[in-house]
């Protein structure tokens, strides 16, 4: 899988004083000095700083450190050329810094095999770093460790610990990311109130190995500002949604957060009225908004003053708009979003490349390339600016700008060799020849389609359990229509990891046996019966992640003849693929007892 290039030894009479002097005095320098001095040449260099490319360039490295970047002639034939170096001709092409995807989700519902497969695809596509925007901190810490140590072929993983108002933690995503524990109480997924000890909360988050705090939703402006101040005091970055509900975008920016995500949610700054709590169905009135209005002038001026980076996730919205079956298809007016990104860039707001969605498994390149193409083709960025958005700007957003993002003396040996010029066409980022990450080379020719991305033989049949997410949901509804206790075991995962949050229970119901007992307490019986009232769902949204899915809806319980009198409430459900079909592993809803009150 990994390839160490053959090298040609050059004996040059004079010494390379600059290179050798750079490593005197430290233990790490002594380790570096034990590695051979190498000079890579035969390419055009785009160093990530935005300047003109260096033609016929060369890079001198020792171990995992760049010693100097210059022209081939200076490094190999100049008066200070090294006396003894290993030189490798890369054979033409274009070198850029390693790319960074600044918005991924690797462990919302953790699946190690799937995460490693996606990271593997990213690495061989030139992505050497990712920022995960909240998930199961236990899984993310493991991925971060193994990626940094080189134990897996993956970009270096940096991740966030989430903070939000208590009501958001009922959402199925944090429930899934805290499986086995209580969302809101775990250090990587905390509920914050005015009574929260923020010093302790931030310290707990930092202890998960997270790089930053993600501020998600349902927090007022004062709390957003207090979280930000304390996180910065403890040396953590702060990454927030652009609209936190009820905290508006300008208030989020003025709180001092480092990055705001999702360009479409900036539209709430222009709305006279905005929701006080987050819900996925909330959509601004884009027809009433003008990207050139003074409202956004003030917002962008504040972002420049505060140094706030915009994580636009533009391709996510554009991709959704192309597919009317996509649940996000009507959440953003794409022309408005593109115009707003273009204006932000024109005004000098730093734009970072982040995706928030995976590319189809059949695509040999990940979704970051789609985001960069969207930013250039529709977002007003030049190819050079787009490359910076995924290198220098992205490194700054992650808090690693002092060590990553550009190619210069003292930086790690982390870069990408392309066959074609990305400044001619940003799509040429798909012409990867090789990737160096922390001094290790990965040739694109060695890329193999991971098992997780190959067409799979179905693991289940309808006879052995629900064969799809939709079928699992339908069987759960059928279970309620019959109050059939036998069916509980057909739709829920029969394991201790199952959790169920019901309004009539003071604590989270954990484990299949307890879930079964709860249904028996509601009047479910073996074989079932025909109840007088019915449970049904409205406004159902299914977010499918291949081997798992998150379902959100409004449940209603009563008679369809008089639906206005039916009890209702929010529902969230996590369904995963197992060896016995698709099964419910987490359910949160307010439930009405038979003949009783909710």
**Residues ≥6 apart with Cβ < 8 Å to 109:** 136, 176, 177, 179, 545, 548, 550, 574, 576
* Alpha helix (H) residue ranges in 11-83: 17-21, 27-33, 72-77
What value, to the nearest 5°, has the Cα angle with vertex 221 and ends 211 and 298? 95
What pLDDT is stored for residue 207 in this prediction?
Answer: 97
What is the total residue count of the chain?
A: 598
- pLDDT at residue 308, rounded to an integer: 98
What pLDDT is attached to residue 528? 82
Query: In terms of Cα–Cα distance, which of 234, 233, 164, 160 is closest to 398?
Result: 160
pLDDT at 23: 40
The stretches in the chain having pLDDT less than 70 are 1-33, 78-80, 280-281, 325-329, 450-464, 503-506, 560-566, 590-598
- The torsion angles phi and psi of 547, rounded to 5 degrees, stand at -95, 0
- Residues contacting residue 123 through CB under 8 Å, at least 6 positions apart: 153, 154, 155, 435, 437, 442
Domains along the chain with CATH numbers: 8-92 (2.30.40), 97-453 (3.20.20.140), 469-589 (3.10.450.50)
Q: How far is CA 72 from the centre of its chain?
A: 38
Q: Give the single-character DSSP code of 139.
A: H
pLDDT at 14: 31
Secondary-structure breakdown of the chain: helix, strand, coil percentages, each rounded to the nearest 5: 35, 25, 40
d(CA 390, CA 369): 10
Segment 511-525, tens digit of pLDDT: 888 888 888 878 888
The pLDDT score that the predictor gives to residue 553 is 83
243 closest CA partner among 263, 272, 213, 229: 263
pTM: 0.76
3-state SS class at 348: coil
**3 state DSSP class of 445:** helix
Report the C-alpha gap between 256 and 270 in whole angstroms.
20
3-state secondary structure 186-220: ECCEEECCCCCCHHHHHHHHHCCCCCEEEECCCEC
The answer to whether the Cα torsion of 272, 278, 279, 281 is positive or negative is: positive
- Phi then psi dihedrals of residue 495, to 5 deg: -155, 160
pLDDT, position 457: 41
What pLDDT was estimated at residue 94?
A: 98
What value, to the nearest 5°, has the Cα angle with vertex 209 and ends 311 and 244? Answer: 35
Distance CA 525, CA 488 (A): 10
**pLDDT tens per residue, range 202-224:** 999 999 999 999 999 999 999 99
């Amino acid at each position: 899988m990994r390839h160490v290039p053959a090298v040609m030894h050059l004996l040059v009479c004079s010494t390379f004083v600059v290179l050798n002097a750079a490593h005197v005095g430290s233990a790490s320098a002594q380790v570096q000095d034990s590695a051979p001095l190498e000079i890579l040449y035969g390419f055009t260099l785009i160093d990530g700083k935005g300047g003109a490319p260096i033609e016929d360039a060369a890079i001198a490295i020792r171990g995992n450190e760049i010693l100097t970047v210059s022209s081939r002639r200076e490094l190999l034939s100049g008066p200070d050329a090294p006396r003894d170096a290993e030189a490798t001709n890369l054979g033409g092409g274009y070198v850029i810094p390693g790319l960074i995807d600044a918005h991924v989700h690797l462990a919302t519902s953790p699946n190690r095999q799937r995460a490693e497969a996606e990271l593997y695809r990213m690495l061989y596509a030139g992505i050497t770093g990712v920022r995960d925007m909240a998930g199961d901190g236990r899984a993310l810490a493991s991925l971060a460790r193994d990626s940094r140590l080189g134990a897996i072929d993956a970009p270096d993983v940096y991740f966030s610990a989430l903070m939000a108002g208590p009501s958001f933690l009922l959402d199925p995503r944090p429930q899934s990311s805290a499986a086995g524990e209580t969302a809101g109480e775990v250090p990587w997924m905390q509920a914050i109130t005015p009574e929260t000890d923020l010093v302790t909360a931030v310290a707990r988050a930092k202890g998960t190995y997270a790089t930053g705090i993600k501020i998600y939703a349902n927090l007022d402006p004062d709390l957003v500002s207090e979280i930000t101040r304390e996180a910065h005091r403890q040396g953590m970055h702060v990454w927030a949604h652009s609209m936190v509900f009820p905290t508006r975008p300008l208030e989020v920016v003025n709180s001092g957060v480092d990055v705001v995500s999702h360009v479409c949610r900036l539209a709430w700054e222009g709305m006279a009225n905005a929701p006080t709590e987050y819900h996925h169905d909330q959509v601004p009135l884009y027809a009433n908004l003008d990207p050139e209005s003074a409202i956004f002038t003030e917002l962008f001026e504040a972002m420049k003053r505060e140094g706030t980076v915009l994580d636009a996730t533009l391709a996510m919205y554009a991709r959704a708009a192309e597919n009317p079956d996509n649940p996000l298809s009507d959440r953003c007016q794409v022309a408005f979003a593109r115009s707003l990104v273009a204006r932000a860039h024109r005004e000098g707001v730093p734009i970072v490349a982040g995706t928030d969605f995976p590319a189809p498994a059949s695509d040999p390149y990940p979704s970051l390339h789609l985001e960069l193409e969207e930013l250039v083709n529709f977002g007003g960025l030049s190819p050079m600016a787009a490359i910076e958005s995924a290198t220098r700007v992205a490194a700054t957003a992650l808090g690693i700008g002092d060590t990553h993002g550009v190619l210069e003396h003292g930086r790690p040996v982390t870069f990408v060799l392309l066959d074609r010029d990305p400044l001619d066409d940003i799509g040429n980022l798909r012409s990867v020849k090789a990737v160096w990450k922390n001094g290790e080379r990965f040739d694109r020719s060695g890329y193999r389609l991971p098992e997780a991305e190959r067409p799979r033989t179905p693991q289940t049949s309808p006879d052995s359990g629900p064969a799809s997410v939709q079928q699992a949901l339908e069987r759960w509804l059928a279970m309620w229509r019959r109050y059939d206790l036998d069916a509980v075991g057909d739709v829920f995962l029969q394991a201790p990891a199952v959790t169920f949050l019901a309004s009539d229970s003071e604590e989270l119901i954990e484990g299949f046996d307890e879930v079964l007992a709860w249904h028996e307490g509601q009047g479910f019986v073996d074989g079932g019966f025909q109840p007088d009232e019915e449970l049904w769902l409205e406004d159902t949204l299914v977010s499918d992640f291949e081997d798992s899915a998150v379902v959100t809806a409004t449940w209603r319980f009563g008679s369809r003849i008089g639906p206005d009198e039916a009890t209702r409430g929010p529902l969230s459900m996590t369904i995963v693929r197992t060896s016995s079909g698709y099964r419910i592993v987490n359910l949160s809803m307010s439930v009405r007892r038979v003949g009783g009150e909710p």
